[in-house]
Amino acid sequence: MRKLAYAAVLLATAAYAWPAAANDGLISIIKDPKQWGIQTGDYANTRYSKLDQITAANVGKLQVAWSFSTGVLRGHEGGPLIIGDVMYVHTPFPNIVYALDLNDDGRIIWKYEPKQDPNVIPVMCCDTVNRGLAYSNGLIYLHQADTTLVALDAKTGEKKWSVVNGDPTKGETNTATVLPVKDKVIVGISGGEFGVRCHVTAYDSKTGKQVWRGYSMGPDSDILVDPEKTTSLGKPVGKDSSLKTWEGDQWKIGGGCTWGWYSYDPETNLVYYGSGNPSTWNPAQRPGDNKWSMTVWARDADTGVAKWVYQMTPHDEWDYDGINEMILTDQQFNGAPRKLLTHFDRNGFGYTLDRVTGELLVAEKYDPAVNWATKVDMDKNSPTYGRPLVVSQYSTQQQGEDVNTKGICPAALGSKDQQPASFSPKTGLFYVPTNHVCMDYEPFRVSYTAGQPYVGATLSMYPAPNSHGGMGNFIAWDNTKGKIVWSLKEPFSVWSGALATAGDVVFYGTLEGYLKAVDAKTGKELYKFKTPSGIIGNVTTYEHKGKQYIAVLSGVGGWAGIGLAAGLTDPNAGLGAVGGYAALSNYTNLGGQLTVFSLPN
C-alpha cells in the first residue's frame, strides 16, 4: 500500500530538476536533510524531512537534549535555521538574532540586536511576532519589524547591507520571513489594518538594490500584470483589471498585504504567495471585487510579472486574509500527473490548483463548521465560476453597517491562519493545524488617517457551536479529493506549524505549550511534552553528529495569544481574540525558549 501511495505522488517535490541558474548554495543545503536551510523546509513549502531516525515506534522515548532562552517575552513564531554546525535563532521585537554552536549545546557564537523605534510596536497587528530568518550564500537575512531588511555575515554577524522596505509612520510593518531566490531576496509588507497599499518586492541579495516591486492593487504597471498574458481562471485579466473593481481612489489605501509565506518552483521560475484582506474591514465602504486582494499570485522570479492570479474571496466581508502558504507538489490527479499548488485559506476552503496554468481543480471546506458560503462554484460555464456562493445570513455587507452579524464560521482568524501545514510524499497527505472558531462581526463607518488604525469592525470570537467545544483541530487532508482523512480535537486553536518526517511521524505544537507527535497514517498520538510556554512556532528537525533532533520555539502570542502577550483584558480587544481565548491563561504564560529534543543514547 505504501508503495502505491508513494508512486501516486510521483515523489512529490523531491523530483525537481534544479536549474544551474538558481541559488546553488542554498539549494544544496535544502537538499541535505541534515540541515534546515529555509523556514518552510524547502522551496515547495512542504515542511517535510527525509530524516527517519525518529520513528513512530521510538518517538515516545524523546527527551529534552538542551534548551535556550531567547530573552524576549512575546509570541515566538517561525523556527530556527540549521546551517552546518550552527543554529540561527530569532526573536519577536526587537528581533534579536543568535548564532548558536551545535558542538557546544547552543553556546552563543554571536548576537545581533537591532535598535528599532519602539513606536513600531503599537502599529503591528496581532502581536510583535517575526516568522524567521533566511540564508543564502553566506548571509543571514532578517526583515525587522520596522521593515528594515538586513543582511548579516553568517560567520560573524557583521551587517553587510540594509534597506528600508516601508514606512511604519504610515502603518507599514513586517512580521514575515523572506525568500532568497537565485540572486534576489523576495519580501512582503504588513499594514492592511492601517490602509496600506501592499506589495511584494525583490532586492538584489548581494547589494540590497531594489530589482522589482509588484503591488496588490492599482494600475497594471504597478501590479505588474500583462492584460493579455496574465490570466485568471484561464482567461486574460484584461486592461485595468484591478482599477475597475475599486470605487474611485480607494485602491490607494486598499490593503492586500503580503505578510505570509512564499514558495518557488525552479522549473517554472515562478514565485507563489497570497495577498491579504482589502482595507477597510467595513465592506460597505469599498464596493466591488477589490482585486487583487485575497488572491493567489504566480509571479516570474526575474521580472515580477504575474503569469496568473486567482481571487479566492472577492469583496471580502470577513477579514479572510489570503496569505497562507502555497504548497507545491507533483501528484497524480484524475489519473494524470499534474504540477499542483495546495492552499488552505483563512476562508475555510482548501484549494488545489494547477500551478503552471492556475486552473482551479479542487475547492472544499476543510472544517465542517464553515458556513459563510455553501461552496465554491466549480462549473466552468457558470458566470460565478471560481467564486464562493455567499450565504446572505452571514454576509456582513447585506446585514449592513452597525448591525452585529452573528454566528459566522470561521472567525476572522480563519479556519487556519499563517501557521503552515506540511506534506508527506510517503502518505500523500497534508497535515494542517486549524482553528475551529466562529465570530460575531459588526462593521461601522471609519475614516482614513495615515498611520492610524483603519479597521471599521468590532468582533467577538468563540468555539464553533454544535461540535467538540474546543477551538482547534489537527487534520490530515487529501488535496486531490478535498477530504479530511482524520482529525484530532484540540481545546485551543493549533497555532504551530506542522512537520512531517520520513519516520512516519508528524509533529506540531499547541497553545497550551505541548509538543505533540502523531502517527502520519492514523493520527494516533505517540508523544507529548509540555514546554515552558504556549507554542506558536514551527517544528524543525535536523541531524548533528549522526543524531536526529527536533527543535521548537515556545512563547505564547500571535493573534490567538495576544491577550497574554500584550496584557489585554477587554474581550473585544486584539481584534476580537482576547475574549475568545481568555481561558488560555489557565494553562500557560509568557515565555521565550527554544527546546531541542532527541532520542536517548
Pick the residue with more confidence: 563 or 55? 55
For 375-434, how does the pLDDT look when each residue is reduced to its tens digit (9 = 90+)? 999 999 999 999 999 999 999 999 999 999 999 999 999 999 999 999 999 999 999 999
Residues 6 or more apart from 61 whose CB is under 8 A from it? 599, 600
pLDDT of residue 436 exceeding 90, the answer is yes
pLDDT of residue 8 exceeding 50, the answer is no
Report the pLDDT value the prediction gives residue 14, as an integer from 0 to 100: 39
pLDDT of residue 176 exceeding 90, the answer is yes
pLDDT of residue 355 exceeding 70, the answer is yes
Report the pLDDT value the prediction gives residue 307, as an integer from 0 to 100: 98
Output the nine-digit C-alpha cell for 262: 512564499
For 90-100, how does the pLDDT look when each residue is reduced to its tens digit (9 = 90+)? 999 999 999 99
pLDDT of residue 577 exceeding 90, the answer is no
Pick the residue with more confidence: 176 or 18? 176
CA distances for 396 relative to 283, 316, 471, 580, angstroms: 8, 10, 23, 20
CA distances for 166 relative to 82, 125, 148, 274, 353, angstroms: 29, 15, 8, 19, 32
pLDDT band of 561, cuts 50, 70, 90: confident
Report the pLDDT value the prediction gives residue 5, as an integer from 0 to 100: 39
pLDDT band of 164, cuts 50, 70, 90: very high
Give the whole-angstrom CA distance, residue 177 versus residue 216.
19
Report the pLDDT value the prediction gives residue 6, as an integer from 0 to 100: 36
Pick the residue with more confidence: 326 or 1? 326
Give the whole-angstrom CA distance, residue 276 versus residue 292.
9
On average, the pLDDT of the chain sits at 94
Mean pLDDT is lowest, of 45-59, 67-81, 581-595, for 581-595
Backbone angles phi and psi of 423, in degrees to 5: -135, 135
Name which CATH class applies to 15-219+366-598: mainly beta
Residues of the chain with pLDDT > 90: what percent?
Answer: 90
Q: In what order do the strands lie in the sheet with 429-435?
A: 422-424, 429-435, 472-478, 483-490
Q: CA angle, corner 495, sides to 90 and 439, nearest 5? A: 135
Report the pLDDT value the prediction gives residue 16, as an integer from 0 to 100: 43
pLDDT band of 224, cuts 50, 70, 90: very high
For 281-306, how does the pLDDT look when each residue is reduced to its tens digit (9 = 90+)? 999 999 999 999 999 999 999 999 99
Mean pLDDT of 564-581: 85
Mean pLDDT of 135-164: 98
pLDDT of residue 9 exceeding 80, the answer is no
pLDDT of residue 67 exceeding 90, the answer is yes
Output the nine-digit C-alpha cell for 562: 495576544
pLDDT band of 574, cuts 50, 70, 90: confident
Mean pLDDT of 451-456: 95
pTM above 0.75, yes or no: yes
The residues assigned a catalytic role are 319
Please, are residues 308 and 300 in contact by the beta-carbon 8 Å criterion? no
Output the nine-digit C-alpha cell for 599: 532520542
Report the pLDDT value the prediction gives residue 325, as an integer from 0 to 100: 98
Please, is 530 exposed, middle or buried when counting C-beta atoms within 10 Å of its C-beta (0-12, 13-18, 19+)?
middle
Which is it for strands 48-49 and 499-501: parallel, antiparallel or unpaired? parallel
Mean pLDDT of 491-508: 98
Mean pLDDT of 250-264: 98
CA nearest 52: which of 540, 547, 476, 521?
547
Mean pLDDT of 333-337: 96
Report the pLDDT value the prediction gives residue 560, as an integer from 0 to 100: 86
pLDDT of residue 330 exceeding 50, the answer is yes
Domain boundaries, the chain: 15-219+366-598
**How many residues in total does the chain contain?**
601
Residues of the chain with pLDDT > 70: what percent?
Answer: 96
pLDDT of residue 72 exceeding 80, the answer is yes
pLDDT band of 12, cuts 50, 70, 90: very low
Cβ atoms within 10 Å of 541's Cβ, excluding its own: 29
Report the pLDDT value the prediction gives residue 550, as an integer from 0 to 100: 98
pLDDT of residue 19 exceeding 60, the answer is no
For 90-138, how does the pLDDT look when each residue is reduced to its tens digit (9 = 90+)? 999 999 999 999 999 899 999 999 999 999 999 998 899 999 999 999 9
Mean pLDDT is lowest, of 38-47, 141-150, 570-579, for 570-579
Report the pLDDT value the prediction gives residue 22, as an integer from 0 to 100: 46
For the chain, the C-alpha Rg in angstroms (whole number) is 22
